[in-house]
């Protein structure tokens, strides 16, 4: 009986961890593009929140979860046009702008949700994205549910991680993007439009943040709450650092953070005498360690957070 219980615990934990990996990985992939161009998009937290709101409204208004995904993408790209303008054109402090935008996004999401749904919003569940259940393979012990019984959005996310690796390391666009983040003046002298590349990087970050918001609503909980993100955007910043700005390593790093996030729920099966607050804090503690460099130092892009002045 103990062996069966242990297998059940591990199976449940890994399946939940894989499910929670999706939004973290989407936000991290978007952030990775931005930081590779030299722009630290701290506003990813607010982007995820507004993307979640857009996904919820789009899904309940149309009855289609895919319309919700499209709405989240449009929302993420739209708000990041403003961020790209502030970061790249105005050359404002990326940290200050990002933090202020996150506060603004929270207020905007709360106001818009109440304005559209009423002061006491009626809880309407959004249609969820379909799950993929691979026959026979999903019955494999331990890894079956983890790998072969997940939302279609998770598999799309994993494909996007592979695409990101190919784009960054196998294409001219990726080479130019990385060059802008390392030495923008040298990239400009080689004919690369640094300003345009940085704007594209921030917009892709908005795309990833919007999709992460859609994942929260249309895969995990089915409703919108103002507290739906709960710092996951800042966790994505830690994942990018821990993954050394590599999309393939970001998959493993996102799964590691998600495993810590899923652990409190799974440990409830064991009825252990551990403070739940400590377990909930695990992914955030891991973020602090990743940012501090205690989990291994990594070399960030040389021009990260360095404004580019094309006239100099």
Q: What span, in angstroms and rounded, lies between the C-alpha atoms of 209 and 143?
A: 28
Is the model's pLDDT at 6 over the cut of 80?
no
pLDDT tens per residue, range 146-190:
888 899 999 999 999 999 999 999 999 999 999 999 999 999 999
The pLDDT, as a whole number, for residue 275 is 65
* Angle (CA) 289 291 296, round 5°: 70
144 within a domain of the structure (yes/no): no
- Residue 290 pLDDT level (bands cut at 50, 70, 90): confident
Q: Total domain count for the chain?
A: 1
The full length of the chain comes to 312
214 within a domain of the structure (yes/no): yes
Q: Of 15-24, 84-93, 139-148, 156-165, which gets the smallest average pLDDT?
A: 139-148
Give the predicted TM-score (pTM) of the model: 0.92
From 223, 260, 264, select the one nearest 127 (Cα to Cα). Answer: 223
- What is the domain extent for residue 16? 2-125+149-292
The pLDDT, as a whole number, for residue 255 is 94
Tokens representing 111 are 């106001």
Return the SS3 of 132. strand
* Angle (CA) 110 69 135, round 5°: 125
84 within a domain of the structure (yes/no): yes
pLDDT tens per residue, range 106-137:
999 999 998 888 776 677 899 999 998 888 88
Tokens representing 181 are 């983040």
Q: What span, in angstroms and rounded, lies between the C-alpha atoms of 67 and 59?
A: 6
The pLDDT, as a whole number, for residue 77 is 97
178 within a domain of the structure (yes/no): yes
Tokens representing 41 are 């998009």
**CB of 68 closer than 8 Å to CB of 218:** yes
141: DSSP letter = T
Tokens representing 146 are 């983890």
139 within a domain of the structure (yes/no): no
Q: What span, in angstroms and rounded, lies between the C-alpha atoms of 310 and 73?
A: 31
Concatenating the DSSP letter of every residue in 52-97 gives HHHHHHHHHHHS-HHHHHHHHHHHHHHHHHHHHIIIIII---HHHH
The pLDDT, as a whole number, for residue 287 is 76
pLDDT tens per residue, range 69-85:
999 999 999 999 999 99
The number of beta carbons lying within 10 Å of the beta carbon of residue 17 is 22
More confident residue, 266 or 10: 10
Q: What is the CATH number of the domain that holds 246?
A: 1.10.3470
**CB of 149 closer than 8 Å to CB of 214:** no
Percent of the chain residues topping a pLDDT of 90: 67
Tokens representing 132 are 């993929």
136 within a domain of the structure (yes/no): no
228 within a domain of the structure (yes/no): yes
**CB of 195 closer than 8 Å to CB of 185:** no
The pLDDT, as a whole number, for residue 112 is 92
137 within a domain of the structure (yes/no): no
Concatenating the DSSP letter of every residue in 144-213 gives HHHHHEEEHHHHHHHHHHHHHHHHHHHSHHHHHHHHHHH-HHHHHHTT--HHHHHHHHHHHHHHHHHHHH
Q: Of 29-33, 138-142, 206-210, 227-231, which gets the smallest average pLDDT?
A: 138-142
Average pLDDT, the chain: 89
Q: Is 164 left (phi over 0), alpha (psi -120 to 50) or beta?
A: alpha
């Amino acid at each position: 009986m103990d062996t069966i219980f242990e297998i059940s615990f591990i199976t449940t934990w890994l399946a939940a961890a894989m499910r929670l990996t999706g939004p973290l990985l989407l936000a991290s992939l978007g952030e990775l593009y931005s930081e590779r161009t030299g722009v630290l998009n701290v506003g990813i937290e607010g982007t995820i929140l507004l993307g979640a709101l857009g996904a919820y409204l789009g899904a309940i208004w149309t009855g289609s979860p895919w319309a919700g995904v499209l709405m989240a993408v449009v929302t993420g790209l739209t708000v990041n046009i403003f961020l790209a303008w502030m970061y790249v054109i105005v050359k404002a402090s990326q940290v200050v702008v990002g933090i202020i935008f996150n506060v603004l996004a929270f207020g905007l999401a709360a106001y818009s949700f109440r304005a559209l749904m009423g002061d006491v919003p009626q809880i309407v569940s959004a249609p969820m994205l379909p799950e993929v259940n691979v026959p026979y393979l999903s019955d494999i012990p331990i890894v079956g549910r983890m790998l072969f019984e997940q939302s279609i959005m998770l598999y799309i996310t994993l494909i996007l991680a592979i695409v990101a690796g190919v784009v960054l390391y196998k294409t001219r666009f990726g080479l130019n993007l990385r060059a802008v983040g390392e030495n923008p003046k040298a990239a400009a002298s080689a004919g690369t439009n640094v300003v345009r590349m940085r704007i594209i990087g921030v917009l892709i970050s908005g795309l990833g943040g919007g999709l992460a918001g859609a994942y929260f609503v249309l895969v995990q909980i089915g409703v919108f709450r103002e507290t739906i993100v709960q710092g996951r955007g800042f966790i994505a910043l830690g994942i990018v650092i821990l993954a050394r700005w590599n999309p393939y390593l970001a998959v493993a790093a996102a799964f590691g953070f998600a495993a810590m996030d899923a652990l409190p729920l799974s440990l409830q099966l064991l009825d252990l005498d551990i403070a739940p607050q400590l377990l909930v804090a695990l992914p955030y503690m891991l973020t602090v360690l990743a940012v501090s460099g205690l989990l291994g130092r990594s070399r960030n892009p040389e021009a990260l957070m360095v404004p580019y002045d094309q006239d100099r």
